Amino acid sequence: MNAAMRVALSISALALLLASPAMTQDRQPPTSIAAPWDLPFLPPAPQWDGASRALLRDAGDPWATDFERDPAHDFSPNYAATRGWFDRLDAASDLIRIEAFGTSPEGRQMYAVIASKDGGAFDPSKPVLLAQAGIHPGEIDGKDAGMMLLRDIAFYGKSDLLDRVNLILIPILSVDGHERASPYSRPNQRGPRIQGWRNTATNQNLNRDFMKLDQVEMRALRGLMLKYRPDLYLDIHVTDGMDYQYDVTFGFNGENDAWSRSPAIAAWLDDRFKPAMNAALEGQGHIPGELVFGIDDANPKAGFSDGGLGERFSNGWGSAARVPTVLIENHSLKPYEQRVLGTYVLIEESLRRLAKDGAALRSAIQADSALRPAEIPANFQPDPTPASTRTFKGIRYETYDSPASGRREIRWLGQADPEPWQVPFFGSRPTLTLARPEAYWVPAHRADIIERLRLHGIEMETLHDGRTVSVEMLRLQQPTLAGRANEGRVAVNIAGVETERRDWTYAPGSVRVSTDQPLGDVVVLLLEPQSSESFFAWGLFPEVLSRVEYIEGYAIAPLAERMLAADPALRAEFEARLSAEPDFAANGDARLQWFYERTPFYDDRFQLYPIGRETGA
């Protein structure tokens, strides 16, 4: 079969799928399709019958969720059905209310479900837990777990959880992606049988947008967080990647490193949160594990890394912003029921832990928010040498010759390996250190950048009259554009910066952004162009890479001749270049360009980063 025939065949198979009931919005399971992708092809999962199954309510219970009503516990309701169920809960319980916090690009309301005994306003002395599901809508375990838990808080004897804590649940963050639903969204994942899509309507991955804040969903989320200031933020996902015994893994930045942007918070998470979660999950028949990423798909025992997740991710951002953030990754090959129940246990235990230890966490947040490090490590890369060896609960596997790939492939066998693995663990290390200036000056003409800083909650001083300030300006060295788009942006890399002390006049509307504030580290990471998480690196300043004006040969040649005659040092430099670089010597345009760059006619703002640094010097 030639390639064109194969494409034609796939298209007709696709047309069949599109016409099938499986693709409609009612999320019914596929019934009549016999394509190979409807046959089970995932590795088996170990049998599981954890104690947390007692949390499930009978299908006949008036408050049973759609997940519980499904005999296979493999179903998650769509946006409308989810909202309908929460509206009913809201109407029936004084403890529950719904708060809209944004509108998606496709016009859907984004909402949070708030559980509190405080009525309309939170008692500020109570810690706040924010549990967020569906930033990746195919990974929706937190929604169905949250529905059960809120129901149990409202009606089934768990209202005491709210005595000392408030809970905000975002059941679906990426609401548009959630409605791009089908059985074919998550090929590596065991349930629910209809799943949402990873990216948004604008094809964006929201868990890369915590810093640049391009997307309305993330701007809305940031607004909600600034309003309620959660003490603990759970970002609930499902993994891809290798098989292992653990069904619930979780982690946070600072966990595995000698350093942390938020050391006191990391210590609280390490000492108080993690052991409590592990004990609760184990007590309910789950197998909690550390958040790790395999480094070699072909060799599961080659080692694990911490992923080096930077500030574009929830947990990286949380560490820099001093918002205690835990990334939960349930294991994709475990059945949906097991994952949802594990998530329920983890959210419930998080509430109990906050009730018990919330004051200590508040102190840790305060301590970390007061940090003003003079040097800020950035641009993390995997460490080439392992930091330690870890004991790991592996799943047995074998390899076989695949006629499809023409090489050895892994076949996971779905059985716990009775022998614990000893596996090297690789951390991450910074490849750049950024010095913290006193402030940055953002010119009024980049109102969009100023707006993004505001959305972050960063404080700034706005100029009402123009002002001339002595600042350090950065000349960008050897900028290169990435060869492909990433998240709708074309990233820009630079080899370095050269600093120039300048008196710069800022127009009214320009802002001074002090780094002496709790979000000061975020400011530096956003505004230093060498930071891989900066607005510049994401490609938000392409205009400074274009040079404007030029000089005709008939003008620059005689001017250059006069420069040579007038300046012996310049002549010596020029002649050295001629003898060192024959290509340059043979290129008349390049020679004239060399002189042009040394005249005051040359574009002074070419590759000049428009945000100034205010330093003590």
DSSP structure string for 557-595: HHHHHHHHHH-HHHHHHHHHHHHH-HHHHT-HHHHHHHH
Q: What's the min distance (Å) between Cβ of 559 and Zn ion?
A: 59
Q: What's the min distance (Å) between Cβ of 309 and Zn ion?
A: 11
* Subset of 77-106 contacting Zn ion (CB under 5 A): none
Q: What's the min distance (Å) between Cβ of 136 and Zn ion?
A: 4
Number of residues that bind Zn ion (CB under 5 A): 3
Q: Which residue has the tokens 């040498």?
A: 385
**C-beta of 161 vs 327, nearer to Zn ion:** 327
In the chain, % helix, strand, coil (3-state, to 5) comes to: 35, 25, 40
Q: Is the peptide bond before 192 cis (omega within 30 degrees of 0)?
A: yes
Collect all residues with Cβ–Cβ distance below 8 Å to 526 and sequence separation of at least 6: 211, 452, 453, 456, 533, 534, 535
CB 387 within 8 A of CB 426: yes
CB 512 within 8 A of CB 460: yes
Q: What's the min distance (Å) between Cβ of 54 and Zn ion?
A: 28
**C-beta of 96 vs 309, nearer to Zn ion:** 309
Query: Which strand (E) or helix (H) includes residue 610?
Result: strand 608-614
Q: What's the min distance (Å) between Cβ of 255 and Zn ion?
A: 18
Q: In this chain, which of 126, 136, 178, 312 binds Zn ion, going by CB under 5 A?
A: 136
Please report, for residues 242, 300, 304, 416, 612, the alpha-carbon distance to residue 296 in angstroms, rounded to integers and kept in the order given.
Answer: 9, 6, 8, 20, 43
N- to C-terminal Cα distance for the chain?
71
Q: What's the min distance (Å) between Cβ of 237 and Zn ion?
A: 3
**C-beta of 233 vs 594, nearer to Zn ion:** 233
Determine the interface stretch with Zn ion among 132-140, 166-174, 256-264, 546-554 (rule: CB under 5 A).
132-140
User: What is the amino acid identity at position 591?
Assistant: R
* Subset of 223-252 contacting Zn ion (CB under 5 A): 237
**C-beta of 332 vs 531, nearer to Zn ion:** 332
Structure tokens that stand for 506 in this block: 């800022």
**C-beta of 238 vs 592, nearer to Zn ion:** 238
Number of residues that make up the chain: 617
CB 76 within 8 A of CB 66: yes
Q: What's the min distance (Å) between Cβ of 398 and Zn ion?
A: 29
Determine the interface stretch with Zn ion among 128-136, 336-344, 442-450, 532-540 (rule: CB under 5 A).
128-136
Determine the interface stretch with Zn ion among 12-20, 63-71, 118-126, 129-137 (rule: CB under 5 A).
129-137
For position 222 contacting Zn ion by CB under 5 A, the verdict is no
Query: Residue 346 and residue 237: Cα distance in Å, rounded?
Result: 13
Supply φ then ψ for residue 404, to 5 degrees: -75, -50
**C-beta of 116 vs 189, nearer to Zn ion:** 189
Q: What's the min distance (Å) between Cβ of 197 and Zn ion?
A: 12
Q: What's the min distance (Å) between Cβ of 265 and Zn ion?
A: 22
Q: What's the min distance (Å) between Cβ of 358 and Zn ion?
A: 27
**C-beta of 117 vs 237, nearer to Zn ion:** 237
**C-beta of 136 vs 613, nearer to Zn ion:** 136
Determine the interface stretch with Zn ion among 28-36, 135-143, 389-397, 509-517 (rule: CB under 5 A).
135-143
Structure tokens that stand for 571 in this block: 């002549």
Helices (H) then strands (E): counts for the chain: 16, 24
**C-beta of 30 vs 308, nearer to Zn ion:** 308
Q: Which residue has the tokens 């050295």?
A: 576
CB 80 within 8 A of CB 365: no
Q: What's the min distance (Å) between Cβ of 251 and Zn ion?
A: 13
Structure tokens that stand for 499 in this block: 């600093």
Query: Residue 573 and residue 554: Cα distance in Å, rounded?
Result: 23
**C-beta of 116 vs 315, nearer to Zn ion:** 315
Residue 234: Cβ-neighbour burial (10 angstroms; 0-12, 13-18, 19+): buried
Determine the interface stretch with Zn ion among 62-70, 131-139, 262-270, 501-509 (rule: CB under 5 A).
131-139
Q: What's the min distance (Å) between Cβ of 149 and Zn ion?
A: 21
Supply φ then ψ for residue 347, to 5 degrees: -65, -45
Closest of 171, 27, 25, 156 to residue 86, by C-alpha: 171
**C-beta of 186 vs 322, nearer to Zn ion:** 186
**C-beta of 235 vs 533, nearer to Zn ion:** 235
**C-beta of 332 vs 515, nearer to Zn ion:** 332
Residue ranges of alpha helices (H) inside 412-518 are 447-456
User: What is the amino acid identity at position 317?
Assistant: W
Closest of 147, 83, 86, 158 to residue 117, by C-alpha: 158
Q: What's the min distance (Å) between Cβ of 326 and Zn ion?
A: 14
Summarize as ranges the residues that interact with Zn ion (CB under 5 A). 136, 139, 237
